[in-house]
């Protein structure tokens, strides 16, 4: 995947993108990597619903991995 996550300000977002990229590089299928990252997000944010976690993880993967954009993303308020 090779994405530079150092520019991502939120620790939870950086953890999700790093984990997704690493899992995919190791051969994990997309859905399993996505589910693992949703779980990871909820470890950082146990207050988040499953739906909220899925939405944010999907947005972050789309932004950082699929479209390889570098601008800010929508997300949690943890900064």
**Number of domains the chain is built from:** 1
77 phi, psi to nearest 5 deg: -95, 15
Q: What percent of the chain has pLDDT over 70?
A: 90
- Residue 41 burial (10 A CB sphere; 0-12, 13-18, 19+): buried
| Domain housing 23 | 8-66
**Do the domain assignments include residue 73?**
no
pLDDT of the residue at 6: 62
Mean pLDDT of the chain: 89
**Do the domain assignments include residue 51?**
yes
Instruction: Tally the residues of the chain.
Output: 79
**Do the domain assignments include residue 1?**
no
């Amino acid at each position: 995947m090779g994405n530079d996550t150092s520019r991502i300000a939120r620790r939870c977002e950086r953890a999700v993108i790093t984990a997704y990229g690493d899992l995919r590089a190791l051969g994990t299928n997309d859905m399993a990597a996505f589910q693992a990252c949703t779980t990871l997000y909820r470890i950082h944010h146990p207050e988040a619903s499953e739906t909220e976690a899925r939405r944010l993880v999907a947005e972050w993967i789309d932004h950082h991995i699929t479209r390889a954009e570098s601008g800010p993303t929508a997300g949690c308020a943890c900064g």
